[in-house]
Amino acid sequence: MEIKTEIKLGDSKNILKKLDDNSVDLIFTSPPYADQRKSTYGGIHPDKYVEWFLPISEELLRVLKPSGTFVLNIKEKVVKGERSTYVMELIIAMRKQGWFWTEEFIWHKKNAFPGKWPNRFRDSWERLLQFNKSKKFNMYQKEVMVPMGDWAKTRLKNLSETDKRRDESKVGSGFGKNISNWVDRDMAYPTNVLHLATECNNKNHSAAFPEALPEWFIKLFTKPEDIVLDPFMGSGTTNFVAQRMNRNSIGIEILPEYYQRVKDQLEPTKLLLLEPDDEYESIKLNRRHAVR
């Protein structure tokens, strides 16, 4: 069995046209944010962002399988004392393009650096927007379960009648909790807030995200041998993680120096041994030259 990692140099708008329709299981990416990091890889004016992104998202919609998911890591910045609205405009435009905006996850940056501004506090979170092509998509929820923790000991000890009934909540939210179902269980489903530190092993890119970020979504939305795509590859974090997790992947990067760096570090194929119990074992290393 072979796991393939293909990386391509060029503008996603053009390169994506070469990929087959309905061929990708998960698109996970962090695009250039509007007008940020101009010095390294250019910026797009916030007013032009939607116009710039839509031809790319049109291709992404075409290449994604109906059962697949697109996760977009993005955060609008502050311009002249006001938050930009281009992310909200993008969500609306993508819905018109045919995407379902299924969910918004929050990445809480546990170690946001300290600072003081006259009109706001330090920004310690980013959005991960989940888009789908159909309302029925693959989601392997058990793969991301978390330990119940201490909450269970205190909250589950004294259950009220409301807690024990379905479709009733103390706050009248209409969401039944039926908390008693969780007594004696060790694991629970997580929330849509991910608490992760920002630091990452790869120091060769000014905007690399931590490996734990793509890892969580790859676990949730794919199974081994599925295909993961990152159309704004940067230092290749998504592709390295996908390969380690035995997923095929494709990465696209416009800047030759980033592309070359990933190419030098990555094995384009990884061989797997098929175990009798369907577990796979890697027999090759992911990275030829570790960057840590």
Among 227, 253, 270, 286, binds ligand SAM (CB under 6 A): 253
Among 112, 207, 272, 291, binds ligand SAM (CB under 6 A): 207
* Alpha carbon of residue 284 to chain centroid: 26
The first and second tokens of residue 75, run together, are: 């955060």
CA distance 1 to 270: 8
Among 235, 243, 265, 286, binds ligand SAM (CB under 6 A): 235
Using the structure block, give the residue that is written with the tokens 């794919």.
Answer: 222
Nearest CB to ligand SAM, comparing residues 182 and 227: 227
> Could you tell me which stretch among 27-35, 120-128, 129-137, 264-272 binds ligand SAM (CB under 6 A)?
27-35
53 lies in the binding site for ligand SAM (CB under 6 A) = no
Among 60, 64, 91, 254, binds ligand SAM (CB under 6 A): 254
Among 5, 30, 239, 249, binds ligand SAM (CB under 6 A): 30
Nearest CB to ligand SAM, comparing residues 14 and 67: 14
Which residue intervals of the chain are DSSP H helices? 12-15, 38-41, 49-63, 86-97, 150-155, 161-164, 212-221, 237-244, 256-265
41 lies in the binding site for ligand SAM (CB under 6 A) = yes
Count CB-CB contacts under 10 A for residue 97: 14
CA distance 127 to 107: 6
- What x/- string results for residues 144 through 173 when contact with ligand SAM is judged by CB under 6 A? ------------------------------
DSSP sequence for 247-270? -EEEEEES-HHHHHHHHHHB-SEE
Among 35, 252, 261, 266, binds ligand SAM (CB under 6 A): 252
Nearest CB to ligand SAM, comparing residues 13 and 127: 13
CA distance 29 to 209: 10
Nearest CB to ligand SAM, comparing residues 32 and 46: 32
The first and second tokens of residue 267, run together, are: 């094995």
250 lies in the binding site for ligand SAM (CB under 6 A) = no
Among 94, 128, 196, 208, binds ligand SAM (CB under 6 A): 208
Contacts of 187 (CB under 8 A, 6+ apart): 145, 146, 147, 148
Q: Which residues bind ligand SAM (CB under 6 A)?
A: 11-13, 30-32, 41, 205, 207-209, 232, 234-235, 237, 252-255, 258
